[in-house]
Amino acid sequence: MRYETPTTTKEAATLLYKEKGQAHILAGGTDLLVRMKMGMTEPTLVVDIKHIPAMQAITKSAAGFKIGATVCGAAMTEHAALGKAWPGLVEAANLIGSDQIQGRCTMVGNLCNGSPAADSVPAMIAAGAKAIVVGKDKRRTVAVDKIVTGPGKTSLAKGEVIEAITLPARLPRSGDAYLRFTPRTEMDIAVVSAAVNLTLERGVVKTARVVLGAVAPTAVIVAKAAKAIIGTKLDDEALEKLTAACAAACNPIDDKRGTIEYRTKVAGVLAKRAAKIAYQRAGGTL
Partner 1 sequence: MTGVLVSTTINGDAVQFACPTDETLLDSLRNRVGLTGAKEGCGTGDCGACSITLDGRLVCACLVLGVEANGREIGTVEGLVEDGKLHPLQEKFIEHAALQCGICTPGFLVAAKTLLEKNPKPSEEQIRYALAGNLCRCTGYDKIVRAVQAAAKEMRKK
State the residues that interact with partner 1 by CB under 8 A: 1-3, 26, 28-30, 33-34, 36-38, 43, 46, 48, 50, 72, 74, 97-101, 103-104, 186-187
* Pairwise CA distance, residues 93 & 203, whole Å: 28
Identity of the residue, 104 or 130, whose beta carbon is nearer to partner 1 in the bound complex: 104
Identity of the residue, 35 or 224, whose beta carbon is nearer to partner 1 in the bound complex: 35
Identity of the residue, 26 or 165, whose beta carbon is nearer to partner 1 in the bound complex: 26
Min dist CB 103 to partner 1, Å, is 4
Q: Residue 107: name the closest of 198, 167, 96, 60 by CA.
A: 96
| Number of Cβ atoms within 10 Å of the Cβ of 172 | 9
Identity of the residue, 72 or 200, whose beta carbon is nearer to partner 1 in the bound complex: 72
Give the contacts of 243 (CB within 8 A, at least 6 positions apart): 268, 269, 271, 272
Min dist CB 251 to partner 1, Å, is 29
Give the contacts of 184 (CB within 8 A, at least 6 positions apart): none
CA 137 vs CA 40, 68, 108, 160, 247: distances in Å: 30, 20, 21, 10, 43
Min dist CB 37 to partner 1, Å, is 5
Q: Are the CB atoms for 205 and 279 separated by under 8 Å?
A: yes
Min dist CB 83 to partner 1, Å, is 15
* Pairwise CA distance, residues 28 & 119, whole Å: 16
Min dist CB 112 to partner 1, Å, is 17
Min dist CB 82 to partner 1, Å, is 17
* Pairwise CA distance, residues 155 & 4, whole Å: 24
Measured at the alpha carbon of residue 262, what is the angle toward residues 198 and 115, in degrees to the nearest 5?
65
Identity of the residue, 29 or 122, whose beta carbon is nearer to partner 1 in the bound complex: 29
Identity of the residue, 71 or 246, whose beta carbon is nearer to partner 1 in the bound complex: 71
